[in-house]
Amino acid sequence: MNGMKLLQTWSADYVAPTPTAAAIAVIPPLADLRQHHQDLTHRLKAATHQRLAQETKHLQHLQQRLEPSRLDREITREKQVITYQQQRLISATKQRLQLATQHLYLLEQKLQALDPHAILQRGYAVVRSSRGKILRAGDQITVGQSLDIQLSQRTVKAKITEITEVT
């Protein structure tokens, strides 16, 4: 509950200057996501190995306690149990890894969609005043004003000669 309240307080106080800045504030960097995915994979593998080692140790303990006449049956049964548990752990690990990979792919897609350079390559432009301020509305522009227009490959300078209202 405290974490949610903290997030609400932070998000209510945070104002991003641009949609891109808002996206950057919300989505962690791709390298961090990949590192987190790698860390989870390593932790899951370590837990699998640890569990397998525990079960193997348990089996060895049982082998020492059993009398020779029942030893073969008990060993076979315990090996089957361990094999079954190992298969379940491997299956669960694969499933979890697949889900994490899908999640990472979706996050990469979102990140690519919000990439400012990708937006510019789709034909959009960023219009700035001569002071570098991004202009978002026509009422911020006057005749004779010099503008910098950022396209996907380069930036051009323009001077406003006429303003026409859109109807």
- Tell me, yes or no, if the pTM score tops 0.75: no
Q: Is 97:44 a contact under the CB 8 Å cutoff?
A: yes
SS3 16: coil
C-alpha triplet 118, 120, 122: angle, nearest 5° = 75
- Written as tens digits, the pLDDT of the chain (167 aa) is 455 554 455 455 667 788 787 777 778 888 888 999 999 999 999 999 999 999 999 988 887 776 665 677 888 899 999 999 999 999 999 999 999 999 999 999 998 888 888 888 888 899 999 899 999 988 899 999 999 999 989 999 999 999 888 77
Question: What pLDDT is recorded for position 32?
Answer: 85
Q: How many CB atoms lie within 10 A of CB 111?
A: 17
Question: What pLDDT is recorded for position 91?
Answer: 95
What DSSP element (H or E) covers 122? Answer: none
Strand pairing category for 146-150 and 126-129: antiparallel
